[in-house]
Amino acid sequence: MKRGEFVVEVILSELKSLVRAIPDYPKPGIMFRDVTTLFADAQGFKAAIAQIAEPYRTQPIDAVAGIEARGFILGGAIADRLGCGFIPIRKKGKLPWKTISQDYELEYGTDTIEIHEDAVSEGERILIVDDLIATGGTAEAAVKIITRAGGVIEGAAFVIDLPELGGRAKIEAMGVACTALMAFEGH
């Protein structure tokens, strides 16, 4: 292992320790990974943003699309770091102008995300950002809505991957490269 690799590994270990685990939330058997504790730590937040943005620093990203709500916090900071625009991907009924909608499956039913119909120009290169990828339903909907709007997905970036739930594999099977700072076993 090279010195630089060791430093990154130590930093990621420290960042992982800043994520709070909440058992049985939102229902029994689920271990909720709370990134708000990472966001509250100034140095941890700064390091997380730098690490998430780094693989895309030299790529031509036109905008970061952040998925409501923690993806807004991350996405805005990453867009600033990359010197590009920001697109909010919101839950249905939250945007004030004409929208494009995309339904997606939940464990018990469906939900809908939206973007403004003029949020993405044809051929714009978009990085999708959210705090966590679990089953991949919301991220899949984000890929679909940005693509339908004319955007080109350059990647999807997350703080946390829950690999046992298969979301990252689902997004990568759509041809979208994914990055995640850390992974946690379990749900």
Contact in structure between 35 and 132 (CB atoms under 8 Å): yes
Q: Which residues of 34-53 are buried (b: 16+ CB within 10 A; e: fewer)?
A: bbeebbeeeebbebbbebbb
**What string of pLDDT tens digits covers the 187 residues of the chain?**
454 454 455 588 899 999 999 999 988 999 999 999 999 999 999 999 999 999 999 999 999 999 999 999 999 999 999 999 999 999 999 999 999 999 998 767 899 999 999 999 999 999 999 999 999 999 999 999 999 999 999 999 999 999 999 999 999 999 999 999 999 987 6
CA dihedral 18, 186, 127, 66 (to 10 degrees): -70
Residue with tokens 């102008």: 97
User: If DSSP states are collapsed to H, E and C, what string results for 118-187?
Assistant: CCCCCCCEEEEEEEEECCCHHHHHHHHHHHHCCCEEEEEEEEEECHHHCHHHHHHHCCCCEEEEEECCCC
Could you give the 3-state DSSP secondary structure of residue 85?
A: strand
- On whether the CB atoms of residues 12 and 38 are closer than 8 A, the answer is no
Q: What is the pLDDT of residue 106?
A: 78
Q: Is 140 exposed, middle or buried (0-12, 13-18, 19+ CB in 10 A)?
A: buried
Burial 64-94 (b: 16+ CB within 10 A, else e): bbbbbebbbbbbbbbbebbebebbbbbeeee
- How distant, in Å, are the alpha carbons of 164, 169, 173, 179 from that of 83? 34, 29, 29, 19
